[in-house]
Chains A and B, each alone.
Chain A
Amino acid sequence: MKINGVAIDDTFAEAFPMKATRIIITAMSLKWAYRAANSLTGFASSVIACGCEAAIERDLPPQETPDGRPGIAVIIFAMSTKQLQDQVTKRVGQSVMTTATSACFAGTYSDRMISLGKGLRYFGDGHQISKVFRGVRYWRVPVMHGEFLCEETTGVVPAIGGGNFIVMAKTARHGLAACERAIKAIDRVHGAVTTFPGGVVGSGSKVGSKYSFMMASTNEAFCPTLKGEVKNSLLTDEIGSVLEIVIDGLSEDAIKEAMHAGISAICRFGPGKGIYRVSAGNYGGKLGPHHFHLREIMG
């Protein structure tokens, strides 16, 4: 299969079930909401070592936020509800509550709710005030900038992590130019995010290593500097750089839509602009129950 001269490999991306929650951060201006969101989603590229994966989903205009101020929706993913709870409390407490004028609300509701402001309220040292509006409890924590307003809980929903596609390009410059367009296209899809810096993974990994203490190591099959050295290289001569886009989503459909949008944007560049092939990362289908076949998605 070729789209605009770009070969689409007959393979699939293998993804895993995760737990996720969406939170809405508002502030006096979008700039300050962004600062809170940026801090919260910092060091949250991969669950391998960050504890969670998190990214900004989209900006929210005042009419879409609970308090009528500009806001940002953030999605946080973790391998278990317990891990998610731990990360949400730490990150909202250290990144959102500390941002001047910020407030924090739940963006998802489900039968399984985890603490959002429930634990953070104790920062109020007895001066915190609870308010229940339309069955939802909020906490008002007096802080130095005024009050930090936070919804008591946020809903945990089943999610999928590790949807991906791999872009093979002439150089890193060519690959990044295409990937930046792909990320812009993916950003328009609701319920799907790319958690790595700039949405692009420059050092995609495989599971395991020759070293027993390493959980993951470089994916030599896609390393251009090793293509003459390793037997399992999947690269041809003209490919000088490989970049991966990893997508986490709240549903299979959201990931499929994001992959379609991203790959379509990549293919618009074509071989003339240094984009040769698109592939995907998998583990033979043995580890993850969600399989996203590239040719099916792009068909």
Chain B
Amino acid sequence: MKPLTLKLVKKPEVDIDLSPLTPDGLAGKTLKEIRNIKLDASGQRVRVGDLFEVTGGDKQHIQIRRCSRRLTHIGNAMVQGSIEVHGHAGDYLGRHMGGGRISVHGDTADWAASGMRSGRIDISGDAGDYLGAAPPDERFGMVNGLVTVWGSAGDRIGDRMRRGQILVYCNAGNYIGSRMVAGTILVLGRCGRYPGYRMKRGTIILRGSLQQLSPGFRCCGYLKMEFLRLLFRQIAKMGRRFAFFREFGPEVRRYAGDLSTDGKGEIFILQNARM
């Protein structure tokens, strides 16, 4: 059966909340019912059928074509199935996601994977700020799951992150892993200022050099962290695209902190990670 395809036919002028359009939300619905679903468009109501050309039938696999940054909350709280996004996605992609998989063939705006509980998000372009971070009214950011970004990511990614992994292939902005509670953030490109600012636990792994480190971190010297072998092997098993992780060694320069919050987090600077 062909995936359920939602092709954007009308460019939205305001943000439109796509929360209802998940594999769970659409299960058991006919195409007619799906077209009649009303979406929140910044206070207005808009019919799915007026916004998208809806074809296909497999609601476990949803494709959104010609996606726009105005389309927010894609895959909100989904727990199964997959969503494939062609184009750029708006804020809050995969928010509170509890399972399944989202693939974005483009960029995402801010707050992607915020409050994510499980599952996997792959972003082939760039991610905005606050990836996997906690909004001000929530205690934790990403709680579990895996996010891969093949471009760059913005500031404060993994803010108050509780568990899970964020992998950024290119560069990351300032304050990554700030107030982090646990989890792992891996950045293979350059990293901005103050990674791990006020982090309590968790691991930030950087391949490039450090720009500026918070004064609450102390250097533990050059070490072999054997668990990195396990981590890199696990990542390498995720697909051919990740195979280069097999070549990464466990040699790191380790910084412990943030001691200003009595934190037990760590920042690794990889010493043997040729790509």
Contact = CB atoms under 8 A, between A and B. Distances in A.
B163 interface: yes
B37 interface: no
B101 to A, nearest CB: 14
Interface of B: 144, 163-165, 182, 184, 201, 203, 223-227, 229-231, 233-234, 246, 264, 266
Nearest to A126: B264
Interface of A: 66-69, 101, 103, 127, 129-134, 138, 140, 146-147, 149
Nearest to B231: A133
A138 B234 contact: no
B234 A131 contact: no
A68 B247 CA distance: 11
A140 B223 CA distance: 14
Contact of B227 (A101, A127, A134, A149): A149
Contacts of A132: 144, 163-164
Nearest to A149: B227
Contacts, number: 47
A215 B201 CA distance: 53
A103 B234 contact: no
Nearest to A136: B234
Contacts of A149: 226-227, 230
A130 B223 contact: no
B229 A131 contact: no
A131 B233 contact: no
A131 B226 contact: no
Contacts of A131: 184, 203, 227, 231
A68 B228 CA distance: 11
Nearest to B201: A129
Given A146-B226, A149-B227, A66 B201 contact: no
B218 to A, nearest CB: 14
A147 to B, nearest CB: 6
Given A129-B264, A132-B144, A132-B163, A146 B223 contact: yes
Nearest to B235: A133
B226 A68 contact: no
Contacts of B246: 68
B227 A140 contact: yes
Contacts of B229: 67-69
Contacts of A147: 225-227
A127 B231 CA distance: 20
The list of the 6 closest CB pairs from A to B, nearest first, reads A67-B229, A67-B230, A133-B234, A149-B227, A68-B233, A68-B229
Nearest to B165: A133
Given A131-B227, A146-B225, 17 more contacts: A67-B226, A67-B229, A69-B226, A69-B229, A103-B230, A129-B201, A129-B203, A131-B231, A132-B144, A132-B163, A133-B230, A138-B230, A146-B223, A146-B224, A147-B226, A149-B227, A149-B230
A140 B227 CA distance: 7
A258 to B, nearest CB: 31
A65 to B, nearest CB: 9
A36 to B, nearest CB: 14
Contact of A134 (B203, B225, B234): B234
Contacts of A68: 229-230, 233, 246
A129 B266 CA distance: 10
Contacts of B266: 129
A262 B165 CA distance: 48
A11 to B, nearest CB: 48
B241 to A, nearest CB: 17
Contacts of B233: 66-68
Contacts of A69: 226, 229
A144 to B, nearest CB: 13
Contacts of A138: 227, 230
Contacts of B164: 132
A7 B182 CA distance: 65
A183 B201 CA distance: 49
10 contacts: A67-B226, A67-B233, A68-B229, A69-B226, A69-B229, A129-B266, A131-B227, A138-B230, A146-B224, A146-B226
